[in-house]
Structure 1
Amino acid sequence: MDIAALIAWLITALGGFYMLGTWIQRGGIRQQQTGASRLPAPVVFGHFALAAIGLVVWIIYVVADKTALAWTSFGLLLPVALLGFVMLARWIPVHRDRAAAGAVPAAATARGTEESVPAERHFPVPVVLAHGLFAVATLVLVLLTALGIGGS
């Protein structure tokens, strides 16, 4: 089960990296000053940092098989999940605005109007959904492994 958790975590991380890259590329950091982005940079980078640290701890757990490391990873995943839910709750209205207005016009990607379009509006829905589903699976698998259910 520890390897299944590792695989789920890596897939989750890939989706997260894609969204982080999209957010940065589309001006998410610059938009902090104008308020165009609904995702606060400390939440975005806190989510990323805690998830990355947790993944490193999980990899060490897989190698060392020390229960304390499994629980540490699980403990790190709890605030990661909380921050993820905060970002999801802040992303949903942005997605709804996009759906109501139709697709982002090509002119909106021009440098002059880029600042008014939230960077997170460019997240593909399938990536957001897959990231969330694999994150939940990771959390459950890590908990079950830490509890000693299903073997390691």
Structure 2
Amino acid sequence: MDIAALVAWVVTALGGFVLLARWISRGGLRQQRTGTTRFPAPLVFGHFLLAAAGLIVWIVYLAADRPALAWTSFCVLVAVALLGFAMFARWVPVHRTAAPDSAAIGDAREETTPAERHLPVPVVAAHGLLGAASLVLVLLAALGVGGS
């Protein structure tokens, strides 16, 4: 269970890196000043940094086999999931709006399109599902299900 949780968490992180890079490359940080993006930078980077910290704690748990570290990872992952749900709730209305015209790419109208509008739906879905699987696997491992 421990290694399954690690694998799920790492694959989730890879999807998260793709989403973060896409958001930044589409102007998410620049849009903070104009309010175009619905993702505040502290929410985005808080999600990222907490997930990375939790993963590090999980790796230390795997090396040290200390139950307290497993529970710490789980608690951090719960906070990460809550931030992820907040971003998902902000992303859904943006995704449901009409796609920007292809002619608008590169002109001033592109700056009015939130950066999160460009996040690929399959990556968002996989990231969320794998994140939920990671949370469940970490909980099961912390409970001692499946041995360590």
TM bucket normalised to smaller: over 0.9
2:63 maps to: 63
Is residue 2:53 matched to residue 1:53? yes
Q: Which among 123, 137, 151 is matched to residue 119 of structure 2?
A: 123
Which position in structure 1 is the counterpart of 2:18?
18
Residues matched between the structures, number: 148
Alpha-carbon separation, structure 1, partners of 2:61 and 2:23: 31
**Partner residue in 1 for 2:41:** 41
Quote the RMSD (CA, aligned, Å): 1.0
Q: Distance in 1 between matches of 2:4 and 2:103?
A: 44
Task: Kindly indicate whether residue 108 of structure 2 is the aligned counterpart of residue 112 of structure 1.
Answer: yes
Partner of 2:139: 143
Identity of aligned residues (%): 68
Contact 2:100–2:110 at 8 Å: present in 1 too? no
Q: Partners in 2 of 1:111 and 1:85 — Cα distance?
A: 32
- Name segments (4+ residues, structure 1) moved above 3 Å: none
| Structure 1 alignment gaps of length 5 or more | none
Is there any run of 5+ residues in structure 2 with no aligned partner, and where? none
Could you say which residue in structure 2 is the equivalent of 1:8?
8
Could you state the TM-score of these two structures normalised by the residue count of structure 2? Answer: 0.96
Read off the aligned partner of 1:124 and give its amino acid letter: P
Q: Is the 8 A contact 1:6 1:58 kept in 2?
A: yes
Distance 1:123 1:26 in 2: 9
**Match of 1:145, SS?**
helix
Take 1:85 and 1:108, find their aligned partners in 2: how far apart are those partners?
30
Paired amino acid for 2:46: G
